[in-house]
Structure 1
């Protein structure tokens, strides 16, 4: 007798579900493969800065192994502990908000491309000194990238987000060893888990720095796992989350909903405001849900449904921003937090200022698009639904 699935004696339901999944995530596979083919290697080769460009000066902390390949800096394999670098990214001014203009060949042209103008190592013993030399900025903005993200893409995405959000904060990238391949999901998850204690160390160092007044964390996709785990670890070690960590923003979090609830409960009452960016049209999370055997990911929940309301019931201080009605970036809809001018504006004007988003923020017209760096001058309205996870619907 053939083994049967849980949904049918002949496995037809499983085959139907898999076929439906392929139709929904097919664009994800095609775009991912096209992106890998079009991006040159060695994009982090430093070039001379050019006039008429903007710059983002960031600290990069990584658990990746160094790469011997020119312009790559770090590979997708695990390193021995955590390494630090000071990286300066040059950004062209003629582009639309939410976009990253990668060079077609190396070295890139700073007039048209995202390029690196300098990259220098920072000793671990000098980390506290770096936080003291942040140009008087009391707020630190920590970004943790997601699955399928090489180091260079993490650097450029964070630079784009920091620039477009007009972040009045010292930018700190935490990069774990994602291999940058769509089929390495399980290995990426293991590497993200491997890195959580190093992220906790980074957050602890920032929180202990007298020059730092506030820490805002934004984690994307699978990066939400080490980010939430690191904050939870600090809470368990110190009897509460450090007060300087004011907001934990999870964009398209690739987390099990029940696990997330337990993590938040473990943080105790002294925890930061938590903001979730979700979308039911996120194809990457649909694929993750299939890999997880049907477990809905936190970034794909619909809080108009009772089952998700019940799973988050009683958790105060959690705001959910539903971006399902937004079209921005590519058809995968996994980077809406950084590709949508509406979402970027909310991050820069409200979340990075330590404020809580309400219904009035999402329904009111936003500032003119050219204030965000776009050539457009029309007012835009954000089709974003806002939920307080603890409030009954």
Structure 2
């Protein structure tokens, strides 16, 4: 089974120690994203590495600036052929370093928020999934920030995944260990100057997010429910029965959350096998039931994937963020005003303008909703 998965994910060498070698060569058309980092990974003393896949007993903080080349294809990560990389052709690290402590992290968040105009003081939190090394999580988040044209403060919460296929159980336990740290980080961000907070989790990162919400102290849960405006669960690697139990424990959400599903997700198919045949939320066969649980379901099964496992389709939606949010808002408004009862508002969303070249693209995706009232978001 693992050998089969290795064939699915094989795409050349993966980044390892030293992958964040700095390149300060000028590249006029390259765009830089400045990422703030909170992590339960252990610090790594090897040059240009910063963190590895082992667990730390304390939260560490850092920051990194990553540039995206002018030749970037939306949804993709252009890895350098050799380090430190060519900024005209690949993602490269421009600067990176540790922050002293939680106070320094929060001060950095607030300083960056204060520098933004009112209405744009937003925080986007990203939580990666299983089998993800530190530079892989950082570059994927950079791609999302770049393609979505996000103007606020991006914060990555990265937990101790070893980035090895055989370490599924280790990763799952690492996610469990990270629950208190994620709760603490989200509480700190909720106490910042942010006007809006969005949380995007991928794969096993959704298990971490949901379990954090379930175990959070009641006062923290209430705080987060009022301060976090949008929650996006992308390809959730969660047992469907566990997900229902988590939602029952948490109660009806004050606003709908978004679940991105794809029934051809090969990674979740293997996860389902490991988990005794129980369906995973990210590949669940009943979109309507998920909608009735309080989700807006984005079904991307028919979307052609840039990766062979069909597990990272969510990253391809980042380029459509402004246009997608507008259409999503209209769909939600229609759901409320017309009192649809679980109606399929999807069909094809049709022509969006939002690719890197501003060309019109057609996405074969569907939005399925159930009745709710929606307060809006960033």
Offset, 1:390: 6.8
What does residue 384 of structure 1 align with? Answer: 365
Task: Calculate the TM-score normalised by the size of structure 2.
Answer: 0.86
Q: Does 1:59 align with 2:36?
A: yes
Deviations 1:207-254 (A, max 9, x none): 112x11111000000011111222334463446343110111011000
For residues 80-159 of structure 1, the aligned pairs below 5 Å read 80-122=57-99, 123-134=101-112, 135-136=115-116, 137-159=120-142
What does residue 326 of structure 1 align with? Answer: 303
Aligned length: 353
Deviations 1:16-73 (A, max 9, x none): xxxxxx5xx87632143444x3546412122215222101011011100011222221
Q: Does 1:236 align with 2:218?
A: yes
Offset, 1:362: 6.6
Q: Does 1:366 align with 2:351?
A: yes
What does residue 268 of structure 1 align with? Answer: 251
Deviations 1:324-343 (A, max 9, x none): 101121221000000x3xx2
For residues 1-393 of structure 1, the aligned pairs below 5 Å read 28-35=5-12, 37=13, 39=15, 41-50=17-26, 51-122=28-99, 123-134=101-112, 135-136=115-116, 137-209=120-192, 211-234=193-216, 236-238=218-220, 240=222, 241-269=224-252, 271-303=254-286, 309=289, 312=290, 314-316=292-294, 318-338=295-315, 340=316, 343-351=317-325, 355=329, 363-368=348-353, 371-374=354-357, 377=359, 379-388=360-369
Most deviating of 122-131 and 220-229:
122-131
Between the aligned partners of 1:159 and 1:367, the Cα distance in structure 2 is 22
CA-atom RMSD in angstroms: 2.6
Aligned to 1:103, the other structure's residue is in SS state coil
Q: 8 Å contact 2:319–2:356 — kept in the other structure?
A: no
Between the aligned partners of 1:356 and 1:238, the Cα distance in structure 2 is 32
Between the aligned partners of 2:131 and 2:326, the Cα distance in structure 1 is 26
Between the aligned partners of 1:360 and 1:191, the Cα distance in structure 2 is 38
Between the aligned partners of 2:205 and 2:257, the Cα distance in structure 1 is 15
Aligned to 1:363, the other structure's residue is in SS state coil
List runs of 5+ in structure 1 lacking aligned partners. 1-21
Q: 8 Å contact 2:54–2:160 — kept in the other structure?
A: yes
Aligned to 2:166, the other structure's residue is in SS state coil
Offset, 1:262: 2.1
Between the aligned partners of 1:85 and 1:351, the Cα distance in structure 2 is 30
Between the aligned partners of 1:361 and 1:132, the Cα distance in structure 2 is 38
List runs of 5+ in structure 2 lacking aligned partners. 333-343, 373-378
Q: Which is higher, the Rg of structure 1 or of structure 2?
A: 1
Deviations 1:350-380 (A, max 9, x none): 4599948656677343334xx4214x83x22
Aligned to 1:118, the other structure's residue is in SS state strand
